[in-house]
Structure formats: C-alpha cells, structure tokens
C-alpha cells in the first residue's frame, strides 16, 4: 500500500488545476513520468479556428462565383439612385411608383435608342462615302506623300500594300469566324446581364421606400438615422451627377451642332450627339474619344475644316471646364477635379470599366456623408487682421430630408 503522502502531489495538482501530474514509484531505478493533461478549452479553440478559416475560404469562393451578380446589383442600385428623384417627383404629383418608374424608363430608353440610331446612320454614311471616294483619296494621298517627303511612290505600290493588308485582314477574319461560338456566348451573357440590370433597377426604384423600411426595420432608431441619411445623400449625389452631366451633354451637343453646321461637316447632328454624350459620360478619356471622331470625319473632306473643328473643340472644352461645369455642378457634385480623377483611376483598377463609371458618384456620396459628421472652421489669418474663426455647421444639420423617410423617434 502506498503511503498517503504519495497522493498528495496529485491532489494538490487537481486542486490547483495544474495540467501536469508527476508519478514516482518507490524504486530508485524507475524514472519519473510526466503526464500532461490537455486543457479543456484547447479542442474548442482548434474547432473555432478551423471553422473561421473554412468560413473565410467559403466566403471568398462565394464572392468570386457571385461576382457577376454583385456587379449587377451594385450597378442597378446606383441607376435606381439616379432615376429616383424623377420618380419621386412624379409620385408627388399623384402617380403610382410603378407607372412613374416605367415612364422614366421609357424616356431613358428613347434617348438611348435615338443615340444608337443616329450613330448607326453616321457609321453607314461614312463607310459608304469612304468606299465611294477610296480611289480619289488614294490618289490624293500618294500625291501629298510625294510632295511632302519628296518620294516617287506610284499607285502600283499602294495597290500592292493594300493587297497585303487585305490578305492579313482576311486571315484575321477567318480566325475570328472560328470563335463565333465564344463571341455568341459572350453576347448572350452581356444581354442577360443588361436585362438583369434593368429588372433590378426597376424594382429598386419602384419599391425604394419599402426597401428602405425593410432594411431599417432590423436596426435600432439611432442606426436608422444614419442609414437613412446615407441613403438620401447617395440618391441626391447620384441623381445630381446624372442630371448635371445630362445638362452639360445637352449644351455640348447644341454648341457642336451649330459649329459643324457652319463648317458644313456632314452628319452634324450625329457627330454632335457623339461629342456631347461621350465627353460627359465616359470618364477621363471621354473628351479625347469624343473629339477624335468629328476631326477624322472632317479630315476626310477637308484638312482645313478638320483644323477648324479641332480648334473649336479645344476652345469649347476650356469654356466648359472653367465656366459651365463649375456653375452646373456647384450644387450637385462639389468635388475637386484631382479627387475625381483619382477616384476614376482607383475604380478602374479595382472593378474595371464598371468601377470607373461608378467611381465619381460613389466618391461624392462618401465625401458628403463624411462631411455630415465633421465640423469645419474658418482658417484664421496669421496676421491677425481677419475676424475670429467662425464655426460652420456640418452638412447633417443642413441636409433636407423627406418626411416620408424620417425615422421613428426614440
């Protein structure tokens, strides 16, 4: 029988929750044995860590698989923000939100179809004119090259190079025809995404108040105020951005149409629409894309006319940047041009073309929401001659909210 003192260390270890026991026999030749007990929390910690890692992996896998759907939802949400002010105005006049949203959709669809139709006529007319005037233009090009560079090119050289270019183009078209199935699949995917964007945009705009109430119903009243304020700011900034751009596009279209009619450039209305829409709704490079097409069309008829229209485009762009745009966007999109340019680059780097298009309204909404909770003060002059700094109220105190979206009081 072991001595009672032999169990004392084990009992002390159990009382002190020590995770180790020491067993020793009375024989001096037997070594000491150390038995380590696993803490009861360690298996649970391992399971929690494994579940966390698995959850992160599954989340990233789901986001990757659902990237197309999430892109459609984000684009639809901001398009709904853009048309919601117009829907709200029609609803305030007694329209139901469903028919009001449908009426706004019809107006936007008519504008898009009209723009596409005008550009289609422009392309057909220019291709027809290019084919009809190809021999004469080739002779003029050869004569100009010989006069300018003192060469002795002939029409035969141009014909040989044209035949080489034609064979390369034919081989490229043959290779492209082999990918018809892939091109058709991509076109069908794009079509379904466009239909999905239209459907979600309609539901977001038609059921906007109901959707906001459903989101805010799971939040406490204090959180509801922040969500509703952010929602109203996003609607105001996105709609203001769209309408200010549409107004700038209208001014640009009218000005360029008048200039092209004076210079007798063909397809003046289609080219003016191209310049107005592309220069305003495609960020960063839209101005250059918009101005290149009318210059090329004018160049095919007269180099002097091309120089005149290029000069007008440059002058009007300066007038728009320094006169029209600050006045039109002062109340809707108060953003520094450098911030807008950086936002477009960041959006394009993160989400491609969709991010570039949505970067400016998203940044404007975030800037306005952050400004709603930051107090700004007038900077005191170091000479001491200026008046004392005056406190400016944040945007949250000056922001006008609709009574229908006012959250319940605490």
| DSSP secondary structure, 221-289, as one string | HHHHHHHHHHHHHHHHHHHHHHHHHHHHHHHHHHHHHHHHHHTT-SSHHHHHHHHHHHHHHSTTTHHHH
Give the C-alpha separation, 116 to 273, whole Å. 10
Q: List all residues 6 or more positions away from 31 whose beta carbon is below 8 Å from its beta carbon.
A: none
Which of 186-190, 291-295, 348-352 shows the lowest mean pLDDT across its residues? 186-190
Give the C-alpha separation, 297 to 128, whole Å. 13
pLDDT recorded at residue 117: 82
The residue among 247, 198, 201, 206 whose CA lies nearest residue 87 is: 206
Task: Say if CB 83 and CB 97 are below 8 A apart.
Answer: no
3-class SS shares of the chain: helix, strand, coil, % to 5 = 75, 5, 20
The residue among 63, 108, 67 whose CA lies nearest residue 84 is: 108
Q: Is 83 exposed, middle or buried (0-12, 13-18, 19+ CB in 10 A)?
A: buried
Task: Say if CB 267 and CB 125 are below 8 A apart.
Answer: yes
What is the DSSP pairing of strand 376-377 with strand 33-36?
unpaired
| Alpha-carbon 292 to chain mean position | 24
Across residues 196-211, what is the average pLDDT? 87
Which of 31-45, 213-227, 233-247, 286-300 shows the lowest mean pLDDT across its residues? 31-45
Backbone conformation region of residue 150, classed left if phi is above 0, alpha if psi is from -120 to 50, else beta: left
Give 109's Cβ-side CA count (13 Å radius).
10
The residue among 240, 403, 197 whose CA lies nearest residue 329 is: 240
| Alpha-carbon 85 to chain mean position | 20
Residue with tokens 């706004």: 104
Highest mean pLDDT among 239-243, 244-248, 259-263, 325-329: 259-263
- Backbone φ and ψ of 28, nearest 5°: -70, -25
Give the C-alpha separation, 243 to 250, whole Å. 10
pLDDT recorded at residue 312: 92
Task: Say if CB 351 and CB 364 are below 8 A apart.
Answer: no
Instruction: Give the residue, 166 or 353, on which the prediction is more confident.
Output: 353
Q: What is the pTM of this model?
A: 0.61
pLDDT recorded at residue 402: 46
Interval 65-116: pLDDT, tens: 888 888 888 888 888 888 888 888 898 888 998 899 999 989 888 888 888 8
Give the C-alpha separation, 233 to 240, whole Å. 10
Give the C-alpha separation, 283 to 122, whole Å. 23
DSSP string, 162-173: HHHHHHHHHHHH
Give the C-alpha separation, 101 to 202, whole Å. 7
Give the C-alpha separation, 233 to 363, whole Å. 11
Instruction: Give the residue, 12 or 288, on which the prediction is more confident.
Output: 288
Domain ranges of the chain: 1-37, 221-374+389-405
């Amino acid at each position: 029988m072991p001595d009672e003192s032999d169990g004392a260390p084990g009992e002390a270890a159990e009382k002190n929750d020590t995770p180790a026991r020491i067993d020793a026999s009375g024989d001096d030749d037997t070594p000491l044995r150390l038995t380590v007990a696993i803490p009861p929390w360690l298996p649970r910690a391992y399971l929690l860590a494994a579940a966390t890692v698995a959850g992160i992996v599954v989340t990233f896998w789901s986001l990757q698989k659902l990237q197309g759907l999430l892109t459609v939802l984000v684009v639809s949400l901001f398009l709904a923000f853009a048309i919601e002010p117009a829907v709200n105005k029609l609803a305030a006049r007694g329209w139901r939100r469903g028919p009001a949203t449908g009426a706004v959709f019809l107006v936007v669809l008519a504008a898009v179809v009209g723009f596409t139709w005008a550009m289609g006529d422009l392309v057909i007319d220019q291709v027809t004119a290019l084919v009809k005037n190809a021999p004469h233009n080739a002779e003029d090009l050869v004569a100009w090259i010989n006069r300018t560079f003192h060469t002795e090119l002939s029409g035969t050289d141009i014909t040989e190079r044209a035949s080489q270019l034609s064979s390369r183009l034919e081989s490229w078209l043959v290779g492209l025809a082999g990918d018809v199935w892939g091109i058709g699949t991509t076109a069908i995917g794009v079509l379904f995404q466009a239909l999905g964007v239209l459907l979600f945009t309609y539901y977001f705009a038609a059921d906007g108040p109901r959707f906001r109430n459903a989101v805010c119903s799971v939040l406490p009243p204090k959180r509801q105020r922040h969500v509703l304020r952010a929602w109203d700011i996003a609607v105001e900034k996105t709609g203001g951005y769209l309408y200010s751009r549409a107004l700038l596009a209208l001014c640009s279209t009218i000005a360029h149409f008048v200039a092209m009619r004076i210079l007798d450039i063909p397809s003046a209305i289609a080219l003016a629409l191209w310049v107005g829409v592309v220069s305003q709704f495609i960020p960063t490079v839209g101005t250059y894309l918009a101005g290149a097409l009318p210059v090329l069309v004018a160049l095919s008829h007269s180099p002097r006319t091309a120089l005149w229209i290029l000069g007008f485009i440059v002058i009007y762009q300066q007038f728009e940047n320094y006169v029209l745009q600050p006045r039109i966007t002062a109340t809707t999109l108060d953003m520094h041009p450098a911030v807008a340019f950086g936002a477009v680059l960041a959006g394009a780097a993160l989400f491609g073309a969709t991010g570039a298009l949505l970067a400016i309204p998203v940044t404007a909404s975030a800037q306005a929401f952050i400004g709603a909770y930051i107090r700004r003060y007038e900077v005191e002059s170091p000479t001491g001659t200026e008046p004392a700094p005056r406190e400016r109220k944040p945007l949250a105190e000056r922001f006008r909210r609709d009574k229908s979206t006012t959250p319940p009081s605490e």
